[in-house]
Amino acid sequence: MNTLFNLPPIWMAPMAGEASSAALVAAVSAGGGFGQLGAAYLAPARIGEIAADIRARTDRPFGINLFCPQPWLRDDDALDAYLARLAAWHAELGLPAPTRPTQFEEDFDAQLEATIAARPAAISFVMGDPGVARVAALKAQGFKVLGTATQVAEGLLLQASGVDAVIAQGYEGGGHRGGFLGAKQEGALLGTMALVPMLVDALDIPVIAAGGIADARGVAAAQALGASAATVGTAFLLVDECPLSPTYRAALLAAHDADSTLTRAFSGRLARGVANRVTRELADVTLPAFPQPNAASRPMRQAAARAGEADFISLWAGQALPLNRAPGTAAQLVAALAKGWRA
């Protein structure tokens, strides 16, 4: 196969949270795509278990993705103010008042160790530069190492760190912004159409397009812009194998194009999803830094998903959501997307 790293050209984006399931990743890889596990919120032991589950389902290659550790300052005053905002919604959901989380994030080094032990074909990083030493160590162990850029300067830093390829994440894409430069270390807001060719021109390593690709037309466009593979996130949320809560799924099926918004309301870090009461009511509120709100809002989000209250869950999805709302199985979506890629 004359494709990037001998992997298929259609990649499923790693998606931490509800979509990080063995069944989905395996279905994508078995179906002719490159499935990736979003492992950022998984305890290290779970990473190993899910990777073993993927392997039990398919012998095709898959990837694992982690959030680079980000410096953040604990701010209990800001956290308490955020908890006070959540309190009214907790009451609506019949939950006890929110409290300060005891754990804010997983141990990155332990996650990376578990990821290495899981032997994926590729390890990708987002929200940071893994750095020369880490990249060299991973490459020496036979992994393809990928970084995520939302602007050229990030791509150049990642290239200097030695990554094998850069994922260009455009503004259209769902979920958290994956950049790491700028005042809030969230990167830039460049569209995929502009970002991909700028990175292709600036870098000597392959570029993978992500953001707003939902059907064969988007895949063809990504290839025309110079991308070496196309990454699709949002459209895979609606395939049969994706274990989304019925609340999340129904909200994605009902959303209009203009409902797409960027928000920090659920996590403290900029992310794209479908607007709801939480994104609207916290639009102008200053929040504690990521990951404090992410951990603090988790009980509300989980309870709301169970209760069918889409106004209180993070409905991560990209701008192209309405383009492909009945994708069928993962294999059907991979096949439909692959029609846009010229061998």
Ligand X SMILES: Cc1cc2nc3c(=O)[nH]c(=O)nc-3n(C[C@H](O)[C@H](O)[C@H](O)COP(=O)(O)O)c2cc1C
In the bound state with ligand X, the residue whose beta carbon lies nearer, of 95 and 315, is 315
Kindly indicate which of the ranges 103-111, 228-236, 250-258, 283-291 contains the residues binding ligand X, using the contact rule CB under 6 A.
228-236
What the block records as the tokens of 40 is 């950022």
Nearest-approach distance from CB 66 to ligand X, in angstroms? 8
**Beta strand residue intervals within 27-137, DSSP E:** 35-38, 62-67, 122-126
Contact positions with ligand X (CB under 6 A) in 15-74: 15-17, 19, 38, 40, 65
In the bound state with ligand X, the residue whose beta carbon lies nearer, of 101 and 327, is 327
- Binding of ligand X by 150 (CB under 6 A): no
Please state, in angstroms and rounded to a whole number, the distance separating the CA atoms of residues 85 and 110: 33
What is the sign of the dihedral through the CA atoms of 75, 81, 86 and 91?
Answer: positive
Helix spans in 107-245 (H): 108-118, 132-140, 152-161, 192-202, 216-224, 234-237
Contact positions with ligand X (CB under 6 A) in 272-301: none
What the block records as the tokens of 201 is 């021109």
Please state, in angstroms and rounded to a whole number, the distance separating the CA atoms of residues 199 and 285: 34
In this chain, which residue has its C-beta nearest to ligand X?
233
Considering only CA atoms, give the Rg of the chain. Answer: 19
User: Are 54 and 37 a contacting pair, CB within 8 Å?
Assistant: yes
User: Are 309 and 93 a contacting pair, CB within 8 Å?
Assistant: yes
Kindly indicate which of the ranges 53-61, 102-110, 172-180, 250-258 contains the residues binding ligand X, using the contact rule CB under 6 A.
172-180
Q: Which of 152, 316, 340, 341 binds ligand X (CB under 6 A)?
A: 316
In the bound state with ligand X, the residue whose beta carbon lies nearer, of 83 and 203, is 203
**In Å, what is the CA distance from 202 to each residue of 224, 230, 248?**
16, 19, 38
Query: Total residues at the site for ligand X (CB under 6 A)?
Result: 29
Please state, in angstroms and rounded to a whole number, the distance separating the CA atoms of residues 27 and 167: 22
Q: Which of 98, 128, 155, 178 binds ligand X (CB under 6 A)?
A: 178
Q: Which of 31, 233, 268, 293 binds ligand X (CB under 6 A)?
A: 233
Nearest-approach distance from CB 209 to ligand X, in angstroms? 9
Contact positions with ligand X (CB under 6 A) in 103-142: 126
Q: Which of 44, 179, 318, 340 binds ligand X (CB under 6 A)?
A: 318
Please state, in angstroms and rounded to a whole number, the distance separating the CA atoms of residues 28 and 283: 36
Q: Applying CB under 6 A, which residues contact ligand X?
A: 13-17, 19, 38, 40, 65, 126, 148, 169, 172-175, 178, 210-213, 231-234, 316-318, 320
